[in-house]
Chain A
Amino acid sequence: MKLLVPVKRVIDYKVNIRVASDGSGVELANVKMSMNPFDEIAVEEAIRLREAGLASEIIAVSIGPAQAGETIRTALAMGADRGILVKCEGNVEPLGVAKILQKIVAAEAPGLVILGKQAIDDDCNQTGQMLAGLLGWAQGTFASKLELEDGALKLTREVDGGLQTLFLTLPAVITTDLRLNEPRYASLPNIMKAKRKPVDEKTPQDYGVDTTARLEVLETKQPEARKAGIIVENTAELVERLKNEAGVI
């Protein structure tokens, strides 16, 4: 069984986001970029399935600018077998990404597509569910445990009240939650080896997908800052102020 793992290049989660003063977006110049953390979890899960003998090949896909090739290299260094870079300038919305992925699925016929639950830049939490809808496949979102048994997939998901377990028919789309696994670091020899792994370059046109944005971003603003408060001396003062000043207890 082949596994397809879409990986997105995003601003590193440790970077302090700065909003451009002209309202056009967030500052990207000289900012550290990384693989979306949920996608690292997806790559790790795919590698574990292959190591367990349950999968044959892992294909990492990224849709974005030429530099998204680096994100694919990271996935290859972790252990993915080959990559597909779908090059395009500007932001592609989740629906556009899902449509490109749908075409790649048609060409590669993977048994599972494993995505992150959420890209930490747009915070959309849409792409996996959209892909599953377009394909007419089962979707196992926010996965915290995955067990393949006799051609069926048993999946535990993080839901609002706790955990839910489902059986999904294969092929299926999975999106990862934080507790699914702890992604490995790529070793130096594997980083070197990754340089020789094949990466196909494509464009959205190759797949006949129109990636024109449906939503117009009118403005990107700074959120309202909270005013700094006060430091209290001790617990008694805290309780007194919460009672009499803030009136919240």
Chain B
Amino acid sequence: MAILILGEHDNSHLNEATSRTLSAALEIGNDVDILIAGEDCAAVAGAAAKLNGVRKVLLCQSPLYAHMQAENMAALLSPLMADYETFVTAATANGKNIAPRLAALLDIQQISEITTVLARDTFERPIYAGNAIQNVRSAQEKNVITIRTTAFAPAEAGADAPVEILAVGEDTGLARFVGEELSQSDRPELSSAKIVISGGRGMGSAANFDMLERIADKLGAAVGASRAAVDAGYVSNEYQVGQTGKMVAPELYIAVGISGAIQHLAGMKESRIIVAINKDEDAPIFQIADYGLVADLFTVLPELEELL
């Protein structure tokens, strides 16, 4: 039977997480549809319809879905699932919020953040901050799955699947959107950037993060942070990389003034090349770094900016 993907978007752009979800879904089976629910988001449905391998796109537009709140999203999805065997979405903040609610409505035990599809009912997923990997098999008739986007390549565009309009679902009236504070940045998005440069407690202040940002701009990189840097108020929460923050796996990850706690490593150790800059030669980050530089970051960062 068919697979339904919940598309991730901001009402104007399709997030790359969705094309990665599609790659994972196509490993599970065929007949993959993508639901785009939002407000004035027809262009997003158009973009989803171009992804290779999509059977059709379902488009549901209403202010009810403008911010993809879980209560109304799950109410829309749950009756749709009568026609599908599997629901897949990316383990983004939205995906993590919506999928388990849907799973409970369908009496399904969700499988969170899979990294490998072993068979249509068998998956690999990390547990304990990636310190162990589980192979799990589901004996359920239907499955609800979230995928770790860093583990799947984006699907290519080139197709032209039909877009079907879907009737608006129930308004649960349970939650009302008040507002949001989203960071505005011209830099690439943290979860999909090719290069990420992250700062930790060693950065010492919010002002010092400017040094990382200037280097990021030269490299076309995204800026990330450890939990300690976020807790200290150097940068805001959306910068946090790790077990309970964002997962990243860029071509190049540069950790500056970060000790390398397991919770941080969980979010970046799949990066292709890891660089660590730390003045403590015993910092655990050096155990997983391809290139380590034992030095004071306040000396290294200006040099780096100069040399790039």
Contacts and interface: CB of A to CB of B under 8 A. Distances in A.
Interface stretch (A42-50, A75-83, A166-174, A185-193): A166-174
Given A117-B244, A178-B231, A218-B136, A169 B109 contact: no
B206 to A, nearest CB: 15
A158 B181 CA distance: 10
Interface string B265-308: 00001001111000001000011111111110000100110011
B291 A232 contact: yes
A223 B288 CA distance: 13
Interface in A2-33: 11, 13, 16-17, 19, 26
B110 A124 contact: yes
Dominant SS at the B interface?
mixed
B62 interface: no
B137 A218 contact: yes
Nearest to A167: B176
B292 A229 contact: yes
A220 B134 contact: yes
Contact of A223 (B102, B132, B173, B191): B132
Interface string A179-222: 10000000000000000000000000000000001111111111
A139 B111 CA distance: 20
Nearest to B124: A221
B178 A167 contact: yes
A178 B304 contact: no
A62 interface: no
A107 interface: no
Interface stretch (A51-59, A66-74, A239-247): A239-247
Interface in A126-142: 126-134, 136-142
A159 B175 contact: no
A13 B261 CA distance: 10
Given A166-B69, A179-B230, A95 B103 contact: yes
A133 B304 contact: no
Dominant SS at the A interface?
mixed
A216 B243 contact: no
Contacts of A126: 100, 103, 110, 112
Interface string A226-249: 101111101110110110001011
A130 B97 CA distance: 10
Contacts of A234: 293, 295, 303
A160 interface: yes
Q: Which of A118, A125, A222 is packed against the most chain B CB atoms within 10 Å?
A: A125
Given A161-B182, A223-B131, A123 B195 contact: no
A17 B137 contact: no
B239 to A, nearest CB: 10
Nearest to A13: B263
Nearest to B286: A231
B100 A129 contact: yes
B238 A161 contact: yes
A150 interface: no
Nearest to A214: B109
Given A221-B132, A239-B304, A160 B138 contact: no
A26 B290 CA distance: 28
B108 to A, nearest CB: 7
B55 interface: no
A150 to B, nearest CB: 14
Interface in B164-188: 172-183
A127 B96 CA distance: 11
B12 interface: no
A61 B28 CA distance: 37
B291 A230 contact: yes
Contacts of B102: 133
Q: Which of A160, A234, A239, A241 is packed against the most chain B CB atoms within 10 Å?
A: A160
B93 A123 contact: no
A220 B174 CA distance: 40
B134 A124 contact: no
16 contacts: A26-B131, A129-B97, A133-B104, A144-B237, A160-B246, A162-B181, A163-B237, A165-B180, A166-B178, A168-B176, A179-B231, A223-B130, A229-B291, A230-B291, A231-B291, A242-B275
Interface of A: 11, 13, 16-17, 19, 26, 38, 93-96, 98, 117-118, 120-134, 136-142, 144, 154, 157-169, 172, 177-179, 213-223, 226, 228-232, 234-236, 238-239, 241-242, 246, 248-249
| Top 5 A-B pairs, shortest CB-CB distance | A133-B104, A129-B100, A229-B290, A130-B104, A214-B109
Given A166-B176, A232-B292, 17 more contacts: A93-B109, A130-B100, A134-B104, A138-B175, A141-B97, A160-B92, A218-B136, A221-B133, A222-B133, A228-B288, A229-B291, A230-B290, A232-B293, A235-B307, A246-B273, A246-B290, A249-B252
